[in-house]
Amino acid sequence: MREPLLELRGLSTHYESARGTRVTRAVDDVSLSLERGKTLGIVGESGSGKSTLALSIMRLLPTAARIVGGQIRFEGEDLLAKSPREMREIRGKRIAMILQDPMASLNPLFTVGDQVSESLRVHEGASRKTAWTRARGLLEAVRISAPAARMTEFPHQMSGGMRQRIVGAIAVACEPRLLIADEPTTSLDLTIQAQYLSLLRELQREHDLAMIFITHNLGIVAKMCDAVAVMYAGRVVEAGPIRQIFNKPAHPYTRALLDSVPRLTDDSHARLPAIDGQPPDPSAPPAGCAFHPRCPQALERCREQAPPSLTVAVAQTARCWLHVP
Amino acid sequence: MTGPLLQARELRKHFPVRRGLLNRGGAVVRAVDGVSFEIMPGQTLGVVGESGCGKTTTAKLVLCLEAPTGGSVEFDGRPLVGLDADGVRRYRRSVQAVFQDPYASLSPRMRIGAIVAEPLVTHEALERGTVEARVKELLDFVGLPARAATLFPHEFSGGQRQRIAIARALAVSPKLIVLDEPVSALDVSIRAQILNLLRDLQQQLGVSYLFIAHDLAAVAHMSHTIAVMYLGKIVEIGPAATLARTPQHPYTQALFAAALPSHPDEARDDLVVQGEVPSPLAPPSGCHFHPRCPHAMARCASEAPGLRAHAERRVACHLFDGLPAA
């Protein structure tokens, strides 16, 4: 069997307070894998650790955070063993990232052409002229009209949708193998979101790109992903192929989350099956299974012991005591 | 049958665009451009549309936070235009609002009790004991313990804060609450709680809602009627259940097709609409949607379609002109 493109084994990332007295287990014993050209969705609510997980893979964590255990293997290499300099060469070239706010990801003082050609010059040593020509081709590929004219314009002269497409062009400039998108469409309007998602899909097909979508939106997962990992309080509570997860969720949290979203095709104006309570404070999660205070099926055991990751179906795992015979 | 609680007719709000020192040129943004709708007692009107479509300006007009450039609003049969200060005060008692960001809409320096009591103090001369009892009752309504009254907003999560904002809106027993993206800032597992709460309150108190959101499924779930806006105009308005299932205006179709699926089997890859919403500073001639419309005809570029009755709905599109208004 071929090795997956990206594999996380027991990854844990903790935040420590200045005096080291308080530790937040933002990412706790996470194991995941992603094949070439496939799309993985990581869903979770605020504080579930999904963004910290993405930053851990990129090794772009803030200083208070530290990877305390586990492995990140990318194309057969151990990313945690890389020097900062080696990581710089991987970032942008082999792993690219798209952030939520397209305005904040572009520098207002440089032209679009400068910004798109920058990574080509840095990572591939392309000359100013070649980089410029290739950058123009990239703008065309992300369907920016009149790309030659747009190259000399500044980000503020463009609409939000166009800026997001430019961010997409920068991300794929060096033909990365993996693209991590953190809430890439949250600030976009519906029709622009649809256009952007189909553009990402197209880029993925053309470049055989693997993608990780970090999102709180189950609709994005349903539309874009092959597999999904559901995070709660720093742990992956359930993971598997999307159809299996949407049809037969094994973890009560996943099931409750899917049920609580109103559907367009749903006529009934009945009450939504809501999840009681609040998501836990990541710095003080409940003992045992972190979901137990909100779980309608909680057992005595759930209060004391954190459930291990169990295989519940082909390629589907869940951390839930209900699945222990 | 009772009449509508609120009726807006040909409502307009134009903002002058200032260019240079002397405001020459006289350009205007027609943020809301001839919009008519009604809100029935105890019912919800949902308004959907993308940024710049005028939904928030419409909400501000209903809240009397902006004065309309033209058109009229009648509330309980009485026109709003020409109300004196006292009349506006009375109107504001009947119409309250809940905004998107519960972190920005509650004063961090006031205790919850004072926040919820503020509209009571402003609008009614009540004794302290009565106010306290009412605050307790309101907190109970929205599912918060009575001791919440003594705490500050930072001690609450986003969902709880939105409950506080709802309690404040309910304080003066309004007949209409404007909900501007009330759940967008909340975590997914909390959204259903708040939508359920709003629904229960409507059933118990008979309050009407003007519900503005970009989440189409949430709007469809909450509303009795849905209005779809595009560049300042309503392009389609009708009963929520049928409008969401069989959108008729090409823009409504595009919008609902762009909604994310709730199951992988519903996922579709075909794009219904290209391009972006044009600048409201220079909207296209004729039907504002015609440059992006897959069904555009020659007359769409020159002639703006009126909102015409079509079955239970009203649709502003030339495609429906020849059809009998059943």
Domain boundaries B6-230, corresponding CATH code? 3.40.50.300
Domain ranges of chain B: 6-230
Q: Nearest CA to CA, how far is B199 from chain A (Å)? A: 8
What predicted TM-score, i.e. pTM, was given to this entire model? 0.90
Q: What is the DSSP string of A234-251?
A: TEEEEEEEHHHHHHS--S
Contact B54, B232 (CB under 8 A): yes
Q: Up-side HSE of residue A214: CA atoms within 13 Å toward CB?
A: 22
Indicate yes or no: CB of B193 within 8 angstroms of CB of A276: yes
**Residue A218 is part of a domain; what is its CATH number?**
3.40.50.300
Let me know if residue A165 belongs to a domain: no
Q: With 0-12 CB in 10 A as exposed, 13-18 as middle and 19+ as buried, what is B127?
A: exposed
Length of chain B equals 326
Position B23 confidence tier, pLDDT thresholds 50, 70, 90: low
So what's the pLDDT on residue B322?
67
Let me know if residue A143 belongs to a domain: no
So what's the pLDDT on residue B88?
87
Indicate yes or no: CB of B221 within 8 angstroms of CB of A261: no
Indicate yes or no: CB of B188 within 8 angstroms of CB of A190: no
Contact B277, B207 (CB under 8 A): no
pLDDT in tens, B254-276: 999 999 998 998 877 666 688 88
Chain A residues in contact with B221 (beta carbon < 8 A): 262-263, 266, 269, 272
CB atoms under 10 Å from CB of A155, counted, come to 20
A239 DSSP β-pair partners: A229, A317
Q: What is the mean pLDDT of chain B?
A: 90
State mean pLDDT over A115-135: 93
- Distance CA(A252)–CA(A237), nearest Å, equals 9
Position A1 confidence tier, pLDDT thresholds 50, 70, 90: low
Question: Residue B324: is its pLDDT beyond 80?
Answer: no
Let me know if residue A304 belongs to a domain: yes
Using CA coordinates, name the residue in chain B closest to A161. B276
Probe site for chain B from A158, A188, A261 (most B CB atoms < 10 A): A261
Q: Which residue from A45, A189, A195 is facing B271, i.e. has the nearest CB?
A: A195
Q: Nearest CA to CA, how far is B107 from chain A (Å)? A: 22
How many distinct structural domains can be found in chain A? 1
Let me know if residue A215 belongs to a domain: yes
Indicate yes or no: CB of A271 within 8 angstroms of CB of B200: yes
Position A102 confidence tier, pLDDT thresholds 50, 70, 90: low
- Distance CA(B244)–CA(B219), nearest Å, equals 10
Q: When comparing pLDDT for B320 and A52, which is higher?
A: A52
Position B278 confidence tier, pLDDT thresholds 50, 70, 90: confident
Let me know if residue A76 belongs to a domain: yes
Let me know if residue A292 belongs to a domain: yes
pLDDT in tens, A254-308: 999 999 999 887 666 778 988 988 888 888 899 999 999 999 999 999 999 999 9
**Domain range for A313:** 6-94+174-263+273-323
State mean pLDDT over A220-234: 96
Let me know if residue A255 belongs to a domain: yes
Question: Residue B26: is its pLDDT beyond 60?
Answer: yes
Q: Which two tokens stand for residue A266?
A: 């749903």
DSSP state of A153: S
Q: How far is CA B60 from CA A215, A253, B170, B179, in A?
A: 32, 38, 18, 11
So what's the pLDDT on residue B138?
95
Per DSSP, helices labelled H in chain B are 55-62, 85-94, 112-123, 128-141, 158-170, 188-205, 216-222, 240-245, 250-258
Chain A residues in contact with B256 (beta carbon < 8 A): 264
- pLDDT above 70 covers a percentage of chain B that reads 94
State mean pLDDT over B36-49: 96
Q: Which residue from B245, B260, B273 is facing A222, i.e. has the nearest CB?
A: B260
Using CA coordinates, name the residue in chain A closest to B144. A277
Let me know if residue A140 belongs to a domain: no
Angle at B140 between CA B137 and CA B142, to 5 degrees: 115
So what's the pLDDT on residue B326?
43
- Distance CA(B1)–CA(A209), nearest Å, equals 60
